[in-house]
Amino acid sequence: MILTLKNNATEQQIKEIEDRIKQLGCVPEISKGEEKVIILVKGEQASVHKDIFDAYSAVDFITVISEPYKLVSKHWKEKTVVDVKGIKIGENKIQVAGGPCSVENYESTLEIARSIKKAGAAFLRGGAYKPRTSPYSFQGMREEGLKILQQVSRETGLKIITEAMDISQIEPVEKYADVIQIGARNMQNFELLKACGKSSKPVLLKRGFSNTITELLMSAEYIASEGNTNIILCERGIRTFSDHTRFTLDISAVPVIKKMSNLPVVVDPSHPAGKRELVEPLTLASVAAGADGLLIEVHTDPQHAASDGAQTVNPQQFESIIKKASQIAAVLGRTL
């Protein structure tokens, strides 16, 4: 439920309404604009108290939000722009992240970073902690990998996106990276979501491969409800009956999420592709659908990458993809 107050509402009246919300067992979220004060009433039964607030003279009108998610909905806020140290996600410019599935060593990571920056990327994505289907697969370099990412960031200026797999990894990821990624397997790890909600770092939340869009938005609400509203949603493919690709890229999710939520939406075309020759068409489709950003796996020697080599493009292919994607973006009045 959203309470929009009258222009002449006093601080005392705002305080009285805030206190009453708390008395009813709900949580107030106050947004003070230049002209209006808006109060979001958070709670399972918030809407049942509508009549109580109708009686307050300072309340101009009340909007009942039917969706279970509140802070990330379009009703609460028209648009969220996530600012990562001056790089904004959710505006006209489509931001690009590239890099290896796993950080392998300093030299190759730096070479990849330099190549993607030259092609127009603003972010370096790379895994230090790697959730793998097989326990015998490469699990990542852990904190040593984070140190490599930070050093490469200092040398290239690229901002770092990397994954935290559990609560114990949030602190080191915060220390070395700029954006905390929550992977598809952890989309409904609610304790991890709440812990990221207490972080000061932006969070990139990937959709689980068996989850609905509403479930994705509810997971984002877990983060936002703890105070961190700097959330970037990521479509990365879902499981369907089809087996001709690794996952099925739900391209319709981009415009659907933008209609339902105020959060920016990026697309990872590499994971649903599963094959590097499919990364380009899926990237172009993502831009055409309105994506605010792209996460593309890049390696100087994909055939010998420690993980996900089959879906990884080389720097020359990455540069070609970005050039073509820029042309699609231009048609839509955007830049890349």
> Could you read off the pLDDT of 81-137 as tens digits, one per residue?
999 999 999 999 999 999 999 999 999 999 999 999 999 999 999 999 876 666 656
C-beta separation of 165 from 173 below 8 A: no
Give the pLDDT confidence score for residue 138 in this predicted structure.
63
Tokens 């820029």 sit at which residue? 326
3-state secondary structure of 205: strand
Cα separation, 226 vs 274, whole angstroms:
35
Say if CB 145 and CB 138 are below 8 A apart: no
Tokens of 65: 């939000």
* More confidently predicted of 47 and 290: 290
- Residue 199's pLDDT is what? 97
Residue 30 has pLDDT above 80, yes or no: yes
pLDDT digits (tens, 9 = 90+) for 48-68: 888 999 999 999 989 888 788
Instruction: Name the segment(s) of the chain with CATH classification 3.20.20.70.
Output: 82-331
What is the spatial distance between Cα 269 and Cα 243, in angstroms, rounded to a whole number? 16
In the CATH scheme, what is the code of domain 2-63? 3.30.70.1140
State in words which class domain 82-331 has.
Answer: alpha beta
232-279, pLDDT tens digit by residue?
999 999 999 999 999 999 999 999 999 999 999 999 999 999 999 999
Q: Is the pLDDT of residue 139 over 70?
A: no
Supply angle C-alpha 182, 187, 190, rounded to 5.
100
For 1, 12, 16, 29, 217, the CA distances from 8, given in Å and listed in that order, are: 21, 11, 15, 19, 34
Average pLDDT, the chain: 94
CA distances from 257 to 29, 42, 247, 268 (A): 23, 21, 19, 15
Query: What's this model's pTM, rounded to 2 decimal places?
Result: 0.90
In which residue ranges of the chain is CATH 3.30.70.1140 found? 2-63
What pLDDT, on the 0 to 100 scale, is given for residue 267? 98
